[in-house]
Amino acid sequence: MTEERNAVPLILTGIASVIVTVGALWYYGYLHFAKPEDALLLSDFTMLKTVPGEDYKVSLDPAAQVAHCIDGVLVLFDTQQKGLTGVLVDNRKRAVRCASDVMR
């Protein structure tokens, strides 16, 4: 009962199974390796401050992004490039918060 088992095949099997699992998840799109160019700015946004009694003009053409409030953070979805989403942040990389209950 003092047999010694060879652990090398068990270790190699574990490493191979992790590699195959990660490869399968990446192949089917469940895993994405982020690259620095993925964090580039999609568009420039400017906030128009509304002042009572003053008029402001906006374009009738809608932007290519659609915003949704998810878990209290404003998330932008691009309508031209499927799968391209991002969180709206300010110049100090702080996420823009949103209220899910809009006061009417």
| Distance (Å, whole) CA 67 – CA 61 | 16
Residue count of the chain, please give it.
Answer: 104
Beta strands in 1-104 (DSSP E): 65-70, 73-78, 85-87
Enumerate the domain spans of the chain: 8-87
Q: What is the pLDDT of residues 46-82, one digit of tens each?
A: 777 788 888 878 888 888 888 888 888 888 888 877 7
**pTM score of the predicted model:** 0.49
Residue with tokens 């309508």: 79
Averaging pLDDT over each range in 2-11, 20-29, 33-42, which range is the top one? 20-29
Q: What is the pLDDT of residues 13-31, one digit of tens each?
A: 999 999 999 999 989 888 8
